[in-house]
Amino acid sequence: MDFETRAIHDGQEPDPATGAVSVPIYQTSTYIQEGVGEHKGYVYSRSRNPTRVALEECLASLEGAEHGLAFSSGMGATTTIMQLVSPGQRVVCVNDVYGGTYRLFDKVLKGHGYGFEYVSVDDLNERPADVVPDGTRLVWLETPTNPLMNVVDVRAVAEAAHAAGAIVVCDATFTTPYLQRPLEQGADIVLHSTTKYLGGHSDVIGGFAATSDPELGERLRFLQNSLGAVPGPFDAWLVLRGVKTLAVRMRQHCENARRVAAFLAEHPAVELVRYPGLESHPQHAIARAQMDDFGGMISFDLAGSRDDAFAVLRSTKVWRLGESLGGVESLIEHPGLMTHASTADSPFPVPENLVRLSVGIESADDLIADLEQALAQVPAAVRASSG
């Protein structure tokens, strides 16, 4: 079956008790047993809950994966996956990574003796065998990266990582399975913050991981239950409902982002547009090869200072100033002081004139008109000098 059909039906048979067409929210912590150990497969909701199972089966199907695991947040998924690594083992991580991931690695796990090497996207793409040495346990990828929108060549890195004996985790939050399925490209585990596009309505926090490796699947299931970072049934249901419209939403996100990126690329107050769909993007060819479309996230470097950026961010009306991304509503933010403040003292801080857009599914005309009036905040002198 096609993606759109699986998004609506997989894992979601009508309720056997009532015929309800929408998967019920099984708001229960425990399940009555007929006799000791005699039950219907459900014992306690940290281990298993029918609403969560529906979500896990649906998302696993969309990833083409054998095993799907839902978590309380993207970071809950990351924390759980990182238990596959022991202190002392080497982890190679793309150096332009979600700020919260960097914070967990650098401010929490490093202190417990984990070794992280941060590697640039260019090094990963161009000489993966050199930057993933033998004995590496895990390679952590994100593509496109947040917030600089670099694209990692998943196939090339996975090949080198496997030769070195490492497993590859790919945070595919920006693409969703609608645009890219990293497991098909060699990744061992794919991870999502379902808070973003999969939920799609900025009303839930959640995470998800999938794998087709039987050992990893079994271990992650054990860790999911042991660590306990599981979503409640209502949160699982909200994500499941969001996923039903994922395909139509993603098509509109991509279409709107294409128009917004083209508008920004021509604007004199914009120095650089970072969008993988533009032919000028340094990894446009890789993006074209591994993604079905280019997604709804755009970053751009304003021609001007941090204060000019702040003035633009204060002036938008349709674009709301806020962290997060992937919802139906358009959001604008300043990564340096907001989502990526935790990388400020890292070797790879983000530019202070960088602005990140999560392009929603409102009218593209309205989104462009709003940016047009906000960019008028950038002084004419600055624009002229930017060439």
Ligand X SMILES: *Cc1c(COP(=O)(O)O)cnc(C)c1O
Nearer to ligand X, 75 or 286 (CB): 75
What number of other Cβ atoms are within 10 A of residue 240's Cβ? Answer: 27
Nearer to ligand X, 82 or 270 (CB): 82
Shortest Cβ 280–ligand X spacing (Å): 23
Nearer to ligand X, 263 or 275 (CB): 275
d(CA 289, CA 358): 23
Shortest Cβ 225–ligand X spacing (Å): 19
Residues that bind ligand X (CB under 6 A): 73-75, 98, 100-101, 142, 146, 171, 173, 193, 195-196, 205, 207
Nearer to ligand X, 190 or 375 (CB): 190
CA 239 to chain centre: 14
Q: CB–CB of 19/233 below 8 Å?
A: no
Annotated catalytic sites, by residue? 46, 98, 171, 196
Shortest Cβ 101–ligand X spacing (Å): 6
d(CA 284, CA 114): 34
Nearer to ligand X, 118 or 263 (CB): 118
Shortest Cβ 72–ligand X spacing (Å): 8
d(CA 75, CA 206): 9
Where b means 16+ CB within 10 Å and e means fewer, 124-163 reads bbeebeebbeeebbbbbbbbbbbbbbbbbbbbbbbbbbee
Shortest Cβ 297–ligand X spacing (Å): 9
Q: CB–CB of 370/318 below 8 Å?
A: yes
Shortest Cβ 25–ligand X spacing (Å): 20
Nearer to ligand X, 85 or 229 (CB): 229
Amino acid at 58: C
Shortest Cβ 9–ligand X spacing (Å): 26
d(CA 299, CA 151): 13
CA distances from residue 194 to 33, 71, 150 in whole angstroms, order as listed: 33, 9, 21
Residue nearest to ligand X (CB): 74
Q: Measure the CA dihedral 100/103/106/112, to 10°.
A: -100
Nearer to ligand X, 142 or 188 (CB): 142
From the list 278, 276, 272, the residue with the least C-alpha distance to 295 is 276
Identify the bridge partners of residue 301 per DSSP, sorted by sequence position. 272, 354
Q: CB–CB of 192/207 below 8 Å?
A: yes
β 297-302/189-193 pair status? unpaired
From the list 350, 351, 371, 352, the residue with the least C-alpha distance to 360 is 371
